[in-house]
């Protein structure tokens, strides 16, 4: 059974997560190299890093649905989560939601995530659960999931009030309407972030 394709945690998976979290919290991490001290536990090899354990924990937390998410979608979600996690961004863990919304509304899977990085450093500097600065950051969302869905649906051209700007537009044109009219370098900046993911 593929561990990434289940929403139900087995007892072993649950215990492995708890152990990994305990090891992360209790074990000193070398500054710079981020290598966990292998003397703490025989379970951890000398090549195990904080990032490896962190990625493992997030991989089981993707909330993947085998009926919805292809292996390619899971890999895209992992790439987004790894990018966010490496930079300690609050959007970490939402990778699968970005990918699902992109599929649903037919936009590039990296677009909304990259806007979130550009607008709020991945949710670090935001208001109203609005990491995308949507509506000049005045629009309030209940959570990141709602924000991801609403902004993606708009940029996909599914909101009749904004469709004239975004429907059938390419990524660069979408970004121009999103904030390029105010900041001409905005589309290129977001596209650069998309390419880094």
Whether 105 contacts 158, CB under 8 Å: yes
The CATH number fitting domain 97-197, selected from 3.40.50.720, 3.90.1150.10, 3.30.1280.10, 1.10.530.10 = 1.10.530.10
Q: Which DSSP symbol is given to 179?
A: I
Tens of pLDDT along the chain (197 residues)?
A: 444 444 444 444 545 555 455 544 554 443 333 333 333 333 333 343 434 434 444 444 455 565 567 889 999 999 999 999 999 999 999 999 999 999 999 999 999 999 999 999 999 999 999 999 999 999 999 999 999 999 999 999 999 999 999 999 999 999 999 998 899 999 999 999 999 99
Query: What DSSP character marks residue 130?
Result: B
Owner of token pair 């979600």: 77
- The pLDDT value given to residue 8: 43
* Residues, the chain: 197
94 contact partners, CB below 8 Å, separation of at least 6? 80, 81, 84, 144, 145, 148
What distance in Å separates the CA atoms of residue 37 and residue 19, rounded to the nearest whole number? Answer: 15
Residue 43's pLDDT is 39
pLDDT value at residue 159: 97
Q: Phi-psi category of 31—alpha, beta or left, where left has phi over 0 and alpha has psi -120 to 50?
A: beta
Q: What pLDDT was estimated at residue 22? A: 53
pTM (two decimals): 0.67
| Partners of residue 35 on adjacent β-strands | 49
* Token pair of 43 as six digits: 């379970």
Residue 23 has what pLDDT? 47
């Amino acid at each position: 059974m593929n561990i990434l394709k289940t929403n139900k945690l087995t007892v072993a998976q649950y215990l492995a997560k708890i152990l990994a979290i305990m090891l992360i919290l209790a074990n000193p991490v070398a500054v710079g190299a981020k290598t966990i001290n292998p003397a703490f536990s025989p379970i951890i090899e000398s090549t195990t890093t904080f990032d490896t354990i962190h990625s493992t924990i997030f991989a089981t937390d993707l909330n993947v649905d085998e009926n919805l998410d292809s292996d390619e979608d899971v890999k895209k979600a992992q790439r987004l989560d790894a990018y966010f996690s490496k930079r300690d961004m609050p959007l970490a863990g939402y990778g699968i939601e970005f990918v699902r919304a992109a599929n649903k509304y037919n936009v590039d899977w990296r677009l909304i995530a990259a806007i979130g990085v550009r607008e709020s450093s991945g949710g670090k500097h935001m208001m109203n659960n609005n990491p995308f600065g949507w509506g000049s950051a005045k629009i309030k969302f209940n959570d990141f999931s709602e924000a991801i869905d609403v902004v993606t649906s708009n940029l996909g051209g599914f909101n009749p009030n904004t469709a004239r700007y975004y429907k059938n537009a390419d990524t660069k044109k979408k970004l121009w309407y999103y904030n390029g009219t105010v900041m001409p370098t905005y589309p290129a900046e977001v596209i650069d972030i998309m390419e880094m993911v």
